[in-house]
Amino acid sequence: MQIYLPIAEMSVNVLVILGMGWAIGFLSGVFGVGGGFLMTPLLMFLGVPPPVAVGTGANQIVASSVTGVIAHTRRGHVDFKMGGVLLVGGILGSTAGVWLFALLQRLGQIDLAISLCYVLFLGVVGGLMLVESAQAMIRSHRKGARPRSGAGRHNWIHGLPFKMRFRKSKLYISALLPMGVGFFVGVLTAIMGVGGGFVMVPAMIYLLGMPTQVVVGTSLFQIIFVTANTTFLQAALNQTVDVVLALLLLLGAVVGAQAGAQAGARLKSEQLRILLALLVLVVGGKLAYDLVAIPDDVFTLISELP
């Protein structure tokens, strides 16, 4: 069953898109990540033009983050104050990112920038996660789980001005720090078409020292607004948001997320993290290979917008 996507200007199989949405929803249900880092490369693989894949990806993440935040708020796992500060940085970052996106598109280097960002972040995050979860598994085999403590560390970070108290996160740190993290992730959102959860979550745990249980809900909270801003700007400036494609992906993802959550409940958290780390590394490795390997065709063809 074929459907014509009005913005991507191509015809796709409805079942393929629904299936893709389902698979990504399943993964996000299992691992608690948005799955944008898989969505955008998969869409490009289907032949969706990279700018449309990125713009539509952002739109789809708005919806999945809303779902996630509602669930986390019910459990009281969202630090709204921290989310607000991250958001200020995020809005600035995603605005700068959309502008940078348009600039790179003009220079003809957007494909390279997207690929390089993916390789770099997927490699670093995947590698760190793999090492960390492997260590945790070894530890839990030797003796009982020993929780990692980030509190009590003192370094240059604590000397920064504009200190703020975040009750829910039990932190007293400079507002510049979360704002900087938010800005950085905002730029990534615009260029990579991802929520940035896979960068944001480690940054919140290791850099800001936030308690793990509020991290996911808080990052999702700010991701809603940052991806909404990206969606708006990509739609207004570049006309690259395809609502038909986004809706189809969403329908699949909603169903997949439920199945994923049930499957995730049956797996141990270290095992989950190792699997996620491997998945992240595989995607990153594939993209890295494509950058280095001799391309099938050294020429590419782009329509210039009037």
**8 Å CB contact between 252 and 13:** no
* Sole residue written with tokens 């299992």: 30
Complete DSSP assignment for 215-239:
HHHHHHHHHHHHHHHHHHHIIIII-
Rounded to a whole number of angstroms, the minimum distance from the CB of residue 55 to another protein is 9
Q: Which of 80, 84, 232, 285 binds another protein (CB under 8 A)?
A: 232
- Enumerate the β-bridge partners of residue 173: 164
User: Quick one: DSSP state of residue 305?
Assistant: P
Of residues 205 and 232, the one with the C-beta less far from another protein:
232
Q: Which two tokens stand for residue 226?
A: 């940052």
Of residues 7 and 280, the one with the C-beta less far from another protein:
7
> 173-176: long-range contacts (C-beta < 8 A, 24 or more apart)?
173/208, 173/209, 175/85
Rounded to a whole number of angstroms, the minimum distance from the CB of residue 256 to another protein is 11
Of residues 107 and 138, the one with the C-beta less far from another protein:
107
Half-sphere exposure of 267 (CA within 13 A, CB side): 18
Say whether residue 30 binds another protein (CB under 8 A). no
Of residues 99 and 205, the one with the C-beta less far from another protein:
99
Rounded to a whole number of angstroms, the minimum distance from the CB of residue 211 to another protein is 24
* Sole residue written with tokens 């708006």: 232
User: Quick one: DSSP state of residue 212?
Assistant: H
Q: What does each C-alpha distance from 258 to 73, 83, 274 come to in angstroms?
A: 18, 26, 21
Of residues 209 and 284, the one with the C-beta less far from another protein:
284
Of residues 3 and 272, the one with the C-beta less far from another protein:
3
Site track for another protein across 112-141, x = CB under 8 A: x---x-------------------------
2 dihedral zone (left: phi>0; alpha: psi -120 to 50; beta): beta
Backbone angles phi, psi at 192, to 5 degrees: -100, -10
Of residues 11 and 155, the one with the C-beta less far from another protein:
11
- The closest alpha carbon to 291, from 134, 169, 121, 116, belongs to 116
The residue range among 76-84, 87-95, 139-147, 253-261 that interacts with another protein, by the rule CB under 8 A, is: 253-261
> What residues between 60 and 79 interact with another protein by CB under 8 A?
60, 62-67, 70-71, 74
Say whether residue 265 binds another protein (CB under 8 A). no
Of residues 139 and 286, the one with the C-beta less far from another protein:
286
Q: Which of 212, 213, 239, 271 binds another protein (CB under 8 A)?
A: 239
The distance between the two most distant Cα atoms of the chain, rounded to a whole number of Å, is: 65
Q: In this structure, which amino acid lies at residue 33?
A: V
Say whether residue 104 binds another protein (CB under 8 A). no
Size of the site for another protein (CB under 8 A): 59
Which positions touch another protein (CB under 8 A)?
2-7, 9-11, 59-60, 62-67, 70-71, 74, 108-109, 111-112, 116, 224, 228, 231-237, 239, 241, 243-244, 246-247, 250, 254, 257-258, 261, 291-295, 297-304, 306
